[in-house]
Amino acid sequence: MKTTHHPHIADARQMDTLPDASVHLIVTSPPYPMVEMWDAVFGELVPETLPLLEASQGMAAFEAQHRALDAVWEECVRVLKPGCFLCINIGDATRSIAGEFCLYPNHSRIMAACLRLGLTPLPDILWRKPTNAPNKFMGSGMLPAGAYVTYEHEYILLFRKGGKRIFSEDEQERRRASAYFWEERNLWFSDLWTDLIGTTQKMRGPRERSAAFPFELPYRLIEMYSLQGDLVLDPFVGTGTTMAAALATGRSSIGIERLPELHPQIVATLKGSFEEGAHRVAERLRAHRSFVEARQAQGKEVKYRAIHYDFSVLTRQEREVQLPIPKDWEETADRVVITHQFPPPQDPAT
């Protein structure tokens, strides 16, 4: 199987190179409105935001900054195929403007925008990112009533374009190969993710902090909501984490980024994923084997045999699972082409 990975420098408010209904999954994290590191970026996208901030008009600036994102969500709906998913990682912002501290609820503003666009909202995920910072409690300390709850979570909002996806015959086969393990399902489809730690934010280049999410975040979402061979888009691709996760899971990808300076970083992230891809697969297989051994040691049945591996699986749906391994890297003028290898079927006697 071959997949292609195309980093594209453009403004995601106009994804003219992407036809209508051409993408199977969108995983993304935009710049967060009302977080100071993004003020200048929003100032370039929607010029009236800077005067509003200077005039201490916090809520008006929040609304104006979201208008830049609204245009991208509209484009996302256009390029998404019917029945396919849009996953948005977003954190709310807390900020004092002219001495007034308040929460800028980015997640509910984006939820409202996506509902207006006709997307179907689905149960979301709360990503809990604990901080050990000694100054994490804000406000009046031990005296009521002027202290603020410590904000240690972000959201992963999940939407679908219309009703359930209808799978063609070829897609049904790829769907069975794209199964995940029962125990992964139990972890990934929980509404609270506590086991994902943030990734290093240091970067050399256009900004001091990368604002990257950890590789595991798009990795899980891609496994949960797309098939091997599908096309995944990230309209705010930044350092290329979503594309790297698509490469590692055997999906094709397109990443849109406004800043041309990030192009070499995106290719470097893809290269890292190509080199590490086999390790992530080996790690998942090792974890599954120990899960099965632990279950059998407790005298519990693990009923089915995997067709392509030398282990058992808990459910019939997992039998045809095949985790593709990136094997060959080829770079063309504007994209990277990856050849993936699948495990051969096992002798049923083993």
CA triple 239-243-249, angle to 5 deg: 140
Nearer to ligand SAM, 76 or 119 (CB): 76
Q: How far is CA 303 from the centre of its chain?
A: 33
Nearer to ligand SAM, 147 or 259 (CB): 259
- Residue 247 CB, nearest approach to ligand SAM (Å): 14
Question: Where does this chain touch ligand SAM (CB under 6 A) — which range of 75-83, 132-140, 231-239, 280-288?
Answer: 231-239
Give the span between the Cα atoms of 109 and 176, in whole angstroms.
Answer: 37
Burial class (CB in 10 A: 0-12, 13-18, 19+), 279: exposed
The continuous run of DSSP H or E covering 312 comes out as strand 312-313
Structural contact between residues 30 and 88, judged by C-beta atoms closer than 8 angstroms: yes
Residues 37-66 that bind ligand SAM (CB under 6 A): 41, 45
Q: Does 281 bind ligand SAM (CB under 6 A)?
A: no
Give the span between the Cα atoms of 123 and 144, in whole angstroms.
Answer: 34
Residue sitting closest to ligand SAM (CB): 238
Q: Does 239 bind ligand SAM (CB under 6 A)?
A: yes
Question: Where does this chain touch ligand SAM (CB under 6 A) — which range of 28-36, 49-57, 149-157, 320-328?
Answer: 28-36
Burial class (CB in 10 A: 0-12, 13-18, 19+), 218: buried
**Single-letter residue type at 314:** L
Distances (CA, A) of 64 to 45, 61, 112: 10, 5, 15
Nearer to ligand SAM, 238 or 277 (CB): 238
Nearer to ligand SAM, 32 or 291 (CB): 32
Structural contact between residues 300 and 231, judged by C-beta atoms closer than 8 angstroms: no
Q: Does 13 bind ligand SAM (CB under 6 A)?
A: yes
Instruction: Single out the residue of 8, 258, 280, 340 in contact with ligand SAM (rule: CB under 6 A).
Output: 258
Give the span between the Cα atoms of 189 and 20, in whole angstroms.
Answer: 29
Q: Does 25 bind ligand SAM (CB under 6 A)?
A: no
Nearer to ligand SAM, 14 or 56 (CB): 14
Q: Does 35 bind ligand SAM (CB under 6 A)?
A: no
Instruction: Single out the residue of 46, 76, 157, 212 in contact with ligand SAM (rule: CB under 6 A).
Output: 212
Nearer to ligand SAM, 237 or 281 (CB): 237
Which positions ≥6 away from 328 have C-beta within 8 Å?
A: 338, 339
Nearer to ligand SAM, 71 or 307 (CB): 71
- Residue 178 CB, nearest approach to ligand SAM (Å): 23
Residues found near ligand SAM in the complex (CB under 6 A): 11-13, 29-31, 41, 45, 210-213, 236, 238-239, 241, 256-259
